[in-house]
Structure 1
């Protein structure tokens, strides 16, 4: 009996630190008004130690917030596991812990909220007609961006211990969220110093419908970046795609975008990154698998 009690005590002594381990804390805001947009919803992750200290933190804004942390709230029963990716990046010693602001997608309004308005306005008529059909309503990504960079960011900086400057503010998303992240980075360079454009949906519509060279999609993105990219000025962009499912269509467009970065004098590996993941599909498990690597490069301390 004594031996059994000692063994149980030893097990409890070993298990206690694991049970008490701080892995951060999630906060949810279910209805957040945003002018000219459907009501928004937020899931915010505060890093380990936030509640016990007075440290200030850089901030990462992420789209499709319902697919970031909790599989029971996700679209497809799989998630990015963004909190675990952040912990892994911090553990590497390359990255400071960030507050993560997960912004949920507004259901059927997702496409029109994420499609870059300035790219939509510049699209040739045939492509724009397809965008209109996919949007099913007014493209409102300009309002979404103004809300993130204005009221939402102001509230986050007032409500949490943040470092509010450009170099401490990042934005990351995938697919249409990848386009939206590039849009935020290009249109608000004074706000977002770093962007992760993961498996960006460069075709913008059904890729089979714009497969021909006369669709104007490549020319659209080339001109869009050329007009807005500017010099690096300490900023940093991550781009990538897989080679399976929807990602199999992205390479020709990504190559055009990569060439524009090179032409603008951005140094690959320092200012921008573009990677191809062989066999990777267009889905959350694939993005989760590479997210620690993305964070490790994109959010690395200078």
Structure 2
């Protein structure tokens, strides 16, 4: 069953190719005319609300998860959810660019280039998000537009670009949800980048997780190293950073749907 949402088709950009944008607002958005809402930006937007468009025919179930958390009495920020559709250049747009500027970056990039459509576009994708999409959302909806109420989330490559966004725009985003982050594609390069670019732990929150089946079975040793970076950067487990392991969980929307309530609760709790 799909969730009611509004679609802006072929949203235009001067940085990246046009794409659909799906937007969901809480039930009380229309009733409470003076209320403003936090915003959660999500990558792979076609997978978020509607199984008809989702890659595997299963959506993330994020709205039912939010509603259940509310029913259970969790004191969370109310959010508008913005689903940003991916394109056929998904890898190009989600692969963090600046880590490849390091001394070993060119060699690593040579191995990845055969899988790219062209150049790495992540910096342009984030410019689109921050300078075009976010202003449109803030002008069109009653948002709490400040950094302390702006979140970003994704899975797999979407996890990488979410963390990259937090590091590149720490004054725009306060929290990132990174589910089944696809660390192997960038390995030590991203870790070295993070050591120099982690945002202030006093003003940011980060969630990571991984399963143990399929692609996810490769992630634990990489995540353990990232966790060390988090500790060294001053993050405190359970407070402004959380890493979770899910035994038996696969690398797909069904698995993320099962646990989406956990990052939502962690990131949005007041």
Question: Is TM-score (shorter-chain normalized) higher than 0.5?
Answer: yes
Q: Quickly say closer, same or farther: Cα 1:225–1:27, change in 2 above 3 A.
A: same
Alignment of 1:291 onto 2:270: no
1:32 paired to 2:11: yes
May I ask how many residue pairs the two structures share in their alignment? 266
Cα shift readout 1:254-281 (whole Å, capped 9, x = no counterpart): 1111000111111111010111101100
> Is the 2:3–2:50 contact (alpha carbons within 8 Å) kept by the matching residues of 1?
no
Q: In structure 1, what is the equivalent of residue 86 of structure 2?
A: 105
Bigger shift: residues 248-257 or 227-236: 227-236
Paired residues of 1:221 and 1:257 also in contact (CA < 8 A): no
Q: Contact (CA 8 Å) 1:60, 1:100: kept in 2 or not? A: yes
Q: CA deviation at 1:84?
A: 1.3
Once residues 141 and 59 of structure 1 are traced to their aligned partners in structure 2, the CA distance between those partners, rounded to angstroms, is 21
Q: Which residue of 2 aligns with 1:271?
A: 240
Asked if the contact 2:215/2:250 (under 8 Å) is kept, the reply is yes
8 Å Cα contact 1:25-1:48 kept in structure 2: no
Residue 79 (str. 1) matches residue 59 (str. 2): yes
- Runs in 1 of length 4+ with deviation above 4 angstroms? none
Q: State the superposition RMSD in angstroms.
A: 1.5
TM-score, with structure 1 as normaliser = 0.85
Structure 2: gaps of 5 or more residues = none
- Tell me how far apart the structure 2 counterparts of residues 247 and 159 of structure 1 sit (CA, whole Å): 38
TM alignment of 1:175-254, pairs within 5 A: 175-204=156-185, 217-254=186-223
For 1:63 and 1:90, the matched residues in 2 are separated by 24
- Gaps spanning 5+ residues in structure 1: where? 1-22, 205-216
Q: Aligned partners of 2:16 and 2:203: how far apart in 1?
A: 32
Residue of structure 2 in register with 1:119 after alignment: 99
Q: Does the CA-based 8 Å contact 1:246-1:282 persist in structure 2? A: yes
Deviation of 1:218 after TM superposition, in Å, equals 4.0
Q: Retained in 1: the 8 A contact 2:94–2:158?
A: yes
| TM-score (normalizing by structure 2) | 0.94
Is the contact made by 2:15 and 2:128 (CA closer than 8 Å) also made in structure 1? no
Distance 2:110 2:161 in 1: 20
* Structure possessing the higher radius of gyration over alpha carbons: 1
What SS is found at the alignment partner of 1:53? coil
What is the CA deviation profile of residues 16-39 of structure 1, one whole-angstrom value per residue up to 9, with x for unaligned ones?
Answer: xxxxxxx97410011111113111
C-alpha offsets along residues 137-195 of structure 1, whole Å, 9 cap, x if unaligned? Answer: 01111011011111111110010000001110000000000001001111100000000
Any idea what SS the aligned residue of 2:224 has?
Answer: helix
1:125 Cα deviation after fit: 3.2
